[in-house]
Structure 1
Amino acid sequence: MKNRKKYFITSLVILGLLFTFVLSYEISYRLTGAKEAPTVEQTSSLQDDTLVVLRSKQQEGYVTDKVYTIKEVKELYKLSKKISKDDVKNIFTKEDYSLQEASDSRIVFNRNSTKFIPNKFYLGAKDDYLAIYKSNEKGELILENPDSDVFITKRKVSTLDDVSKNKIQTFQKYYETREEAEENITEFF
């Protein structure tokens, strides 16, 4: 009889410990599961009106290069309907940008180098005249055709207002196509 009482008490203690372990595991799982929810949200798709801001380091700080919406990014890079923050990060880190800030309404990327985005057309200056440069695969600026890409019959850069002069001298304006660059250079004439 004494042995039965020992087995009974031992069984109750083991059952109590097992119940306590299962209960504590369940409680900790639910608490930790609630904290992991935001990480799932990071891989969810972004809204089309979320802004993507590209900035470059200049002497006076960071200057905004371009601002896109997610919808424009999808069209520009021919992406599927849904795009996540990680997808956007992968796109712009290839163009020498690093993620600075990310929220549901805005994602900001900074570029610290003087390297330019490959295969884009930049507005700049050559011998104090407006010019259209093309960036090669390495991100270096070149004049493809100096005779037509330098606008010597137009206004000199030194005669522009300080804001416009700064945009031209720091190559802040860039475009996808030459036609786009030629169309937009007229704002400086």
Structure 2
Amino acid sequence: MNNNFQNDKFKKDKLKKIYFGVGVIVLLGMCFSLSYLITDWITKPKYENALEEKTVYNSTEVLEDNTTIALMIGDSIDKEQSLKDFKEENNIQVDVNQQFLIDFLDDSGYKLEALSDDRIVFSKENSDNTLIGGKYYLGEKDGYFAIYKTDENGKAFIESESDVFRDYKKVNTIPIAAEEEIKSFKHYYDSKEEALERLAGYMN
């Protein structure tokens, strides 16, 4: 009988040790998880602040002339050129940084899409605005200036191949703001003569 009593006591002591060991392991795990969460909570704001400061710094840093500027409309690249060519085309005589480009291109509806050390991409939505019927619009065809006419439903078409001015400079040679106005059919007239008169100002 004493042997049975001793065996029961031994089993109970063994179970207590097992429970104690499991409890210690669980407690250590909870302490580790808690310390990790506290450390992450303390360091994360500092990391985010560092990234924010870096972004602000980069936005004011003068860009190199060989930086590539890409302009996208929808999913397609509409124009891609070096910063040097971009400045010459738009008659920009000052040093250019990222924030300057953001502000400058915002007037034409472009938003910053992506950037790296040597390439900055801007994009805007492809708009399909309804045109006014029975008007003549300044537009672009194959990169050249063109005059479009709209039917009664506002659908634009070119009346004659002579209305595409392939013997003159291309649309992408004028300042980008004016180029976007041409491509998006911002200018319309009651007669083709009026459209030609206005177009001459762009092509001279």
- TM-score normalised by length of structure 1: 0.45
Q: Going by fraction, where is helix more abundant, 1 or 2?
A: 2
- TM-score normalised by length of structure 2: 0.42
